[in-house]
Structure 1
Amino acid sequence: MSALLEVLALHPADAQRAEEGGADRVQLVGSLTDAGMSPEPALVERVRDATTIQVRVLLRLRDGFGTDGGEVTRLRGLAASYVDAGADGIVMGFLNGHGDIDAEVLTAILSEGEWPWTCHRAIDHALDTDRSWRTLQTLPRLDQVLTAGSARDLEHGLDDLIARARADAATAALIQAGGDLRPEHVPWLVRAGVRSFHITSAARPLGSWKAYVDAGLVQAWRTLIDAETRHRPTTR
């Protein structure tokens, strides 16, 4: 089974370089504030024109993972605008006042359109992770969950994420490992059945956000992930 490599992009040049390096997809954000905010639809259109690989766009307008009824209308409109501009899917994740996945808000946003989506790292901040995973798996068109297994990063959440993937093949198929992913994490995740990976600053020289995505760094990740996927069986 082949693996998916996604790179965080801020502009068309990032997307072009990600494609040159062998990425399958970019996740487009408008700014890096609080782990990323929504871009303008015009930026989505420019990125779509710059690359042939998949583009998923972050849908997030405020710090944290909360929202409210008034903002949901705007979020629905933005999602539609992104798809009209050429996005292949949406990245989003919201928690309610009880710290659980906000199925009501997500269902409202999903009610119009047929696009696939990734749940953003809201799952890592939920109070009851098991319950939130069960909730997510009832929602339509979800095909990935971007998670570090921890509210901090993969270094702290790796063991829990591996255990979750090994316990259930359907969950492993949804996991997109991200959150300061390091090369040494990849073999363990692949063994557990994870086949989707998300990189951010690791795709940039010296990890600097002032630098563009570097095609050579993306290629190194592509080579590593493909090699591990070919040679390491899933263990449960």
Structure 2
Amino acid sequence: MSERAVLEVIALNAQDATAAQAGGADRLELVTDMAADGLTPSVETFAAIRAAVDIRLRVMLRLTDGFSAGGSARVAELVAAARALRAEGAEEFVLGFLDEQGGVDLAAVEAIVGELDGCRWTFHRAIDRAADRDALRKQLAFLPGLDTYLTAGSAEGVDAGLGVLVAEAARSGEPGYEQQLLVGGGLRLDHVAGLRAAGVSGFHIGGASRPDGWDGPVSAEAVRTWREALDSA
């Protein structure tokens, strides 16, 4: 396959970022507090990482665990966080919120995307908890800047979601399916060949880049193993 696969790695700090870039990552997802599955990092952390590396950075916009935006006050906080990060130079973001019925919280998403002013962004794994993935995609299709869905195909992870991922890859280019699939969530090296063969061109790793777990740093060698696997698939 001629299209080079994108490898995105979760980074918590400048040390992680430097190791990920050294290992061949194309892009970083910047978060804090992985105990809550990744929340918005501070402006200071973003600035330190931006100074340490020259690859693309996508910054998480999420203030609480789970996939609820948390009401109008929380949405206002997210808008303020996006504004502060953009003022510091952030150009790419990650977000995604659902309502209590499992539909997209369009009001929250639109409020935040309005602050991004055309910046590129990923709708993250909230899609894996959506009541209707196809409906969610079509509701979001016309929002400016949306170019990626981070998904495992299932809330249970890639093993359970492979069929969905392959089916969605096959619909690439259809209305609601123009965005890149970025596969992550229980992703293993043995998934790579089949996903590449299906046309998937984006891969996202977190724990897989950390041999010592989340208490340890990103390993450049671990990232390089993934880079080589993607390039040879």
What's the TM-score bracket when you normalise by the shorter of the two chains?
Answer: over 0.9
Q: CA deviation at 1:77?
A: 1.0
1:31-50 map, 5 Å = 31-50=33-52
Asked if structure 2 preserves the Cα contact closer than 8 Å seen for 1:204 and 1:211, the reply is yes
What 5-or-longer segments of structure 2 have no aligned partner? none
Q: CA deviation at 1:88?
A: 2.7
Asked if structure 1 preserves the Cα contact closer than 8 Å seen for 2:8 and 2:29, the reply is yes
Q: CA deviation at 1:172?
A: 7.0
Task: Please say if 1:166 is aligned against 2:170.
Answer: yes
**Which residue of the partner structure matches residue 228 of structure 2?**
223
Q: Distance in 2 between matches of 1:214 and 1:172?
A: 33
Q: Say which of 182, 186, 193 aligns to 1:180.
A: 186
Q: Given the two structures, how large is their TM-score scaled by the length of structure 2?
A: 0.93
Q: Distance in 1 between matches of 2:60 and 2:199?
A: 26
Q: Say which of 88, 107, 132 aligns to 2:136.
A: 132
1:191-230 map, 5 Å = 191-206=197-212, 208-228=213-233
Q: CA deviation at 1:136?
A: 2.4
Task: Please say if 1:147 is aligned against 2:144.
Answer: no
**Which residue of the partner structure matches residue 31 of structure 2?**
29
What 5-or-longer segments of structure 1 have no aligned partner? 229-236
AA at the equivalent of 1:73: A
SS in 2 for 1:111: helix
Q: Distance in 2 between matches of 1:110 and 1:167?
A: 25
Asked if structure 2 preserves the Cα contact closer than 8 Å seen for 1:118 and 1:142, the reply is yes
Asked if structure 1 preserves the Cα contact closer than 8 Å seen for 2:152 and 2:158, the reply is yes
Q: Given the two structures, how large is their TM-score scaled by the length of structure 1?
A: 0.92
> For 1:34-69, what per-residue CA distance to the aligned partner results, in whole angstroms no more than 9, with x for missing partners?
311111111111111111111111111112111211
> For 1:87-125, what per-residue CA distance to the aligned partner results, in whole angstroms no more than 9, with x for missing partners?
231100100232111222111111122211001111000
Q: CA deviation at 1:140?
A: 1.5
Task: Please say if 1:5 is aligned against 2:11.
Answer: no
Question: May I ask how many residue pairs the two structures share in their alignment?
Answer: 227
Task: Please say if 1:118 is aligned against 2:112.
Answer: no
RMSD over aligned CA atoms reads: 1.4
> Structure 1 vs Structure 2: percent identity of aligned residues?
41
